[in-house]
Structure formats: C-alpha cells, structure tokens
C-alpha cells in the first residue's frame, strides 16, 4: 500500500493565512492603482520600497549568506539603469535628450521592450561582475569592500565621462524614460526576483554559500570550490542588482551618474543591517522601513509655528536627525536586526502576539513587587 501523506492542520492554516494576506495586498494595490491621482504619493513610496527590497535581498545574498562584504551595488545598479534607459527611451524623442553632443548611430534606432531591456541590464551587470570578480574575490573582508567600492566609482565615472556623451549623455543624464504603466509591474517583478533568490538560497548552491560564510577552510575540506561559488554568488547578486537599477530608472523617469554615488550603497547596506543580515524577509522589512520612514518624517523639515511662536527644531534637515535617532533605537533593541537570521512565519508571529500579554503582566508584577518593597 502507498503511504498517504496528510497535510498537518498548521500547514493548512499557514497556507490559508498566506493566501488571505496575498489577497489583501493585491486588493490594496488594485485600489491604489485605480485611484492614482489621489494616492500618487503612496504609490511612489511603495514602488520605491519594492525596488530597494530587490537590491537589499541581492546584497544579503552576497553578504549575509555567502559572507562576502561587497560595496559595489551602486555601480551595478548604474549599469542596469543606463541599459534600460538607453534602450527604452522612444526613438522620436532621443534628439531632445542627446541635444548637446548628439547620439551615436549605434544606438540611435536601437529600441527594446521594457522586459527585454531589463533582463539585458541584469545580464550586463552580471558580465561586468564576472570580470571584476576574477581579481577582487581573492581578497577578503575590508579589502574586498574597498576594491568593489573602487570599481563602483570607476563605473560611475565612466558613465559620466565626456567620451561617453554620445551613448550615456555624460553628465547631462537621460530623461524621458517611460514610467510604470501600473503599480503591479514593479510588484510582480520584485516578487519574481525575490522568489528566485529564495529558491537559490534554499538550493544546494545556497547551502554551499552558507558553508563558505561559516568557515571557508571547512567548506573547502568538504569539497566546495571556494572561488567558483564566490564568483557565482557575486554574479547572481549583481544580476538582480542590475535588475533593480533598471527598475529604479523607470521609476525615476530620469537618471544621472551622480544618482549612483557611494551613499546609495550605504543606504542599501542600512536596509540589510536594520532588517537582519542573513534574513530575506528582514531585508524586505528593512527596505520598507527605511524608505517609508524617510518619507513619513518629512513634516519635520517644514517650519512649525504654534501660537505665533516658531519652533526652532522644525527646519530643513531635521527629518534626518529624527530618522537617525530612530535607527539608533532600533539597533540598540535589535542588535542583530529586526529579524536577525530568522525568516517570517505565521507560527512565529503567533508566538510573538501571545507573548505580549505575558511581557506586560511580568512588567506589572515587577513594578508591584518594587512598590511593595519600598513600603
């Protein structure tokens, strides 16, 4: 007789909860999409957060799961962004974009659909990563970070140099990039990219990445080819980073080389650290927290007057002061990030909710004992 495998009640419940959560998310996105004029600000925050979620997870794939500290994300995002921008700008408006030095005949009539340009941008970023990885992946720790950071700056400088004016438009940047037709476009692409990275991490290659992270000597003794798997992780991370760069170009509708400065990489690293190094869901949560937090705190940049008295703290730049303080608080209470190395689960959420009353009860009991002892 064949063994009949039954699905446990917990798995059934988790599946139902996941379907319900997905339905709620889709319903919210559908509502926002059908009321774009009223909720354009919220839509822009969500789209930006989805894009940064992809690049944060791709950075975590390299740093959190393979143990390679790379700071070249801004450079690979630039490759993907410029590839998508050059290939998707309508041919008839290109003369108005390349108005200073003209456009190279090689790309003058070259046009691709958005999805094809997006994949090509990721592939080009992966090819550059494969070439860069040959010398730099033999370095470790801080030396690897410095080397990848240097290559990112080289890529940005090449895109902005006068010799590239007829292709990248140099320091003038690229404009008139077609935007997203719907909020579901970045949502679906982000879900697909993160889903693929999750499958990679849970595959045999992912286990090899984690072995390298834990102990390179032990991993090599077990038969793991260190350079091959480091190169693979670097290429995969760069591919999805290039995809995110292409999405960012479409989101912004115009790009410049200075968009991809070192501060962009630091911002991505902040999302990874806040969410938890070694957690996919942590990177997603970190991307949304950082992007939403920076936007929702903008009212601190607006002067505030109460009863004719102007509050001196409310001025331009004070938003980032409050944001930095909040980040310090998060780091103090969650030293390994919000999720640490764990992933989101309905069971874990249930345990957290059930533990809240106990925590408050324990706190009240301690306060009562202290007050009783004072008497």
Secondary structure (H, E, C), the chain: CCCCCCCCHHHHHHHHHHHHHHHHHHHHHHHHHHCCCCCHHHHHHHHHHHHHHHHHHHHHHHHCCCCCCCCCHHHHHHHHHHHHHHHHCCHHHHHHHCCCCCCCCCCCCCCCCHHHHHHHHHHHHHHHHHHHHHHHCCCCHHHHHHHHHHHHHHHHHHHHCHHHHHHHCHHHCECCCCCCCCCHHHHHHHHHHHHHHHHHHCCHHHHHHHHHHHCHHHHHHCCCCHHHHHHHHHHHHHHHHHHHHHHHHHHHCCECHHHHCHHHHHHHHHHHHHHCCCCHHHHHHHHHHHHHHHHHHHHHHCCEEECCEEECCCCCCHHHHHHHHHHHHHHHHCCCCCCCCCCCCHHHHHHHHHHHHHHHHHHHHHHHHHHHHHC
> What mean pLDDT is reported for the chain?
85
The arithmetic mean of pLDDT across residues 177-191, rounded, is 93
- Residue 309: its pLDDT value, please? 63
Q: Does 1 score more than 50 pLDDT?
A: no
pLDDT in tens, 58-95: 999 999 898 888 888 999 999 999 999 999 999 888 88
Residue (of 10, 65, 16) closest to 203 by Cα position: 65
pLDDT in tens, 282-313: 999 999 988 888 887 776 666 666 656 666 66
Residue 101 maps to a domain? yes
The arithmetic mean of pLDDT across residues 205-218, rounded, is 90
Residue 90 tokens read as 């309508």
Residue 240 maps to a domain? yes
pLDDT in tens, 313-328: 666 666 777 777 877 8
Name the residue with higher pLDDT: 274 or 4: 274
Residue 375 maps to a domain? no
The residue segments making up the domain with residue 215 are 41-261
Radius of gyration of the chain (CA): 24
Residue 152 maps to a domain? yes
The pTM of this model reads 0.86
Q: Does 46 score more than 70 pLDDT?
A: yes
Residue 46 maps to a domain? yes
The arithmetic mean of pLDDT across residues 267-275, rounded, is 89
Q: Is the distance from CB of 297 to CB of 325 less than 8 angstroms?
A: no
State the total domains in the chain. 1
Residue 214 maps to a domain? yes
Residue 137 maps to a domain? yes
Name the residue with higher pLDDT: 267 or 101: 267
Residue 180 maps to a domain? yes
Residue (of 137, 129, 127, 120) closest to 72 by Cα position: 129
């Amino acid at each position: 007789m064949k063994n009949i495998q039954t699905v446990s009640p917990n798995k059934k419940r988790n599946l139902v909860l996941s379907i319900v959560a997905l339905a709620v998310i889709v319903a919210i996105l559908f509502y926002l999409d059908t009321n774009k004029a009223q909720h354009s600000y919220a839509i822009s925050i969500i789209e930006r957060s989805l894009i940064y979620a992809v690049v944060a997870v791709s950075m975590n794939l390299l740093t959190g799961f393979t143990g390679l500290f790379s700071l070249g994300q801004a450079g690979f995002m630039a490759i993907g962004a410029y590839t998508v921008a050059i290939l998707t700008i309508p041919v008839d408006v290109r003369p108005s974009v390349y108005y200073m030095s003209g456009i190279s005949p090689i790309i003058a009539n070259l046009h691709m659909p958005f999805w094809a340009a997006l994949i090509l941008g990721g592939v080009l970023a992966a090819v550059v990563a494969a070439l860069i990885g040959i010398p730099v992946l033999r370095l470790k720790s801080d030396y690897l970070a410095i080397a990848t950071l240097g290559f990112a700056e080289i890529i940005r400088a090449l895109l902005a140099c006068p010799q590239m004016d007829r292709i990248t438009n140099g320091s003038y940047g690229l404009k008139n990039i077609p935007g997203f037709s719907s909020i579901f476009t970045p949502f679906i692409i982000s879900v697909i990219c993160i889903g693929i990275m999750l499958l990679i991490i849970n595959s045999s290659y992912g286990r090899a990445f984690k072995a390298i992270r834990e102990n390179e000597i032990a991993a090599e003794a077990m038969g793991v080819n260190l350079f091959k798997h480091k190169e693979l992780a670097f290429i995969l991370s760069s591919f999805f980073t290039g995809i995110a760069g292409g999405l960012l170009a479409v989101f912004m509708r115009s790009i410049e080389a200075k968009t991809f400065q070192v501060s962009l990489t630091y911002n991505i690293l902040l999302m990874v650290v806040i969410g938890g190094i070694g957690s996919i869901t942590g990177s997603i949560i970190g991307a949304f927290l950082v992007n939403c937090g920076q936007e929702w705190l903008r009212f601190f940049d607006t002067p505030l007057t109460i009863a004719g008295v102007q509050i001196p703290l409310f001025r331009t730049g004070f938003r980032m002061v409050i944001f930095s303080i909040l980040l310090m608080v998060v780091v103090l209470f969650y030293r390994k990030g919000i999720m640490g190395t764990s992933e989101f689960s309905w069971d874990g959420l249930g345990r957290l909710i059930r533990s809240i009353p106990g925590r408050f009860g324990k706190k009240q009991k301690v306060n009562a004992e202290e007050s009783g002892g004072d008497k």
